[in-house]
Amino acid sequence: MIFEVKNVDCGYGSTRILRDISLSIESGGILCLLGPNGVGKTTLFKSMLGFLKLKAGNVFVNGENIDAWSIKKIARTIGYVPQVHTPPFPFTVLDVVTMGRVAHMGLFGTPSQKDINVAENALERLGISDFRDRIYTEISGGERQMVLIARALAQNPKILIMDEPTANLDFGNQIRVLTQIKALAADGMAIIMTSHFPDHAFLCSTEVALLKRDSSLIVGIAENVVTEENLKAAYGVDIRIIRECIGGNDWLKSCVPVLS
Ligand SMILES: Nc1ncnc2c1ncn2[C@@H]1O[C@H](COP(=O)(O)OP(=O)(O)OP(=O)(O)O)[C@@H](O)[C@H]1O
């Protein structure tokens, strides 16, 4: 499975937010999209998923242009974890996660026992089965984030697009989610995620795309993209990359801001 974004322009109305964006990810890969607030990461995601009409370029899955695909076919193939939202109705957590099965349901759109089992397994996998019967609108932002990730797992897509999956999460849950993301990729999923923490690129990405304000994109492995120079150019602040040898040729790397 290969997911490719080729020469895409996207934006709203007559405003182009991003121009000539190209990137790709294969099964087992994790592409971490970094960039400052308002640069266009969510806009790119919505455009890749067909929620926003592309202004130029194309999106391909295994060489097939998804422009002609039905919404159901897109949803069976590509999962999306949006930034946390509050739905208008007080569904239970299990209901919200079961909604991830919609693209797999039959003509009448009623969840089967299998759909419910898949949803329960997704909650279990993330260690949040205790929330099963809680009302989604009455749990915390971080808990909702975990539920949205469970919903995407229940959807069982081949490609998973995650918009700031660790936003709102405490330190432990951030690590749990990053560990899950690595496990999903190891199972063969292709994952694209955004993060406001360049360290996450060191922790779990196979590739990084750093988006700058001028729409230019630096793509490559974390080692080459997450550098002090590139972070300064993208975020306008001084950052040191600290390296710690953890044995043999294995290094831990971390970004530390230099406050003036
Ligand atoms: N519905 C909309 N209509 C018009 N402009 C929009 C709309 N949504 C977002 N924008 C603008 O598009 C630009 C990119 O926004 P976007 O949400 O894609 O950025 P982002 O990189 O995801 O930001 P953040 O890191 O803060 O989530 C911003 O200038 C934003 O104000």
Residue 1: Cβ within 10 Å count: 15
Is the confidence at residue 249, as pLDDT, over 90? no
State pLDDT tens for residues 211-240.
999 889 999 999 999 999 999 999 999 999
What gap in Å lies between CA 79 and CA 149, rounded to an integer? 10
pTM attached to this predicted model: 0.91
Assign 256 to helix, strand or coil: strand
Pocket test for ligand 1, best of 15, 41, 200 (most atoms within 8 A of CB): 41
Q: Do strands 190-194 and 78-81 pair parallel, antiparallel, or not at all (unpaired)? A: unpaired
What gap in Å lies between CA 31 and CA 193, rounded to an integer? 6
pLDDT for residue 104: 80
pLDDT for residue 59: 97
State pLDDT tens for residues 90-118.
899 999 999 999 888 766 678 889 999 99
Q: Which atom of ligand 1 is nearest to the CA of 164?
A: 27
Is the confidence at residue 3, as pLDDT, over 70? yes
pLDDT for residue 250: 85
Q: Which atom of ligand 1 is nearest to the CA of 36?
A: 25
- Decide whether any atom of ligand 1 lies within 6 Å of the 86 Cβ: no
What's the whole-number average pLDDT of the chain? 92
What gap in Å lies between CA 106 and CA 111, rounded to an integer? 8
What gap in Å lies between CA 198 and CA 200, rounded to an integer? 5
Closest residue CA from atom 11 of ligand 1: 38
Cα 212 to ligand 1 centroid, rounded to whole Å: 14
Q: Which atom of ligand 1 is nearest to the CA of 196?
A: 25
pLDDT for residue 108: 65
- Decide whether any atom of ligand 1 lies within 6 Å of the 38 Cβ: yes
- Decide whether any atom of ligand 1 lies within 6 Å of the 11 Cβ: no
pLDDT for residue 21: 96
Task: Please list the residues that pair with 33 across neighbouring strands.
Answer: 194, 209
State the virtual CA torsion across 77, 100, 40, 208 in degrees, nearest 10: -60
State pLDDT tens for residues 65-97.
999 999 888 988 999 988 877 777 889 999 999
Tell me the percentage of the chain whose pLDDT exceeds 90.
70
Cα 38 to ligand 1 centroid, rounded to whole Å: 5
Pocket test for ligand 1, best of 14, 17, 163 (most atoms within 8 A of CB): 17
pLDDT for residue 15: 95
ipTM above 0.85, yes or no: yes
State pLDDT tens for residues 140-199.
888 888 898 899 899 989 999 999 999 888 898 898 889 989 988 999 999 999 999 999
For 158-186, give the DSSP string: SEEEESSTTTT--HHHHHHHHHHHHHHHH
- Decide whether any atom of ligand 1 lies within 6 Å of the 35 Cβ: yes
Please choose, from the candidates 94, 87, 155, 99, the residue with its C-alpha nearest in 3D space to the C-alpha of residue 130: 94
- Decide whether any atom of ligand 1 lies within 6 Å of the 34 Cβ: no
In the numeric block, the tokens 């509050």 are attached to: 86
Cα 160 to ligand 1 centroid, rounded to whole Å: 21
- Decide whether any atom of ligand 1 lies within 6 Å of the 51 Cβ: no
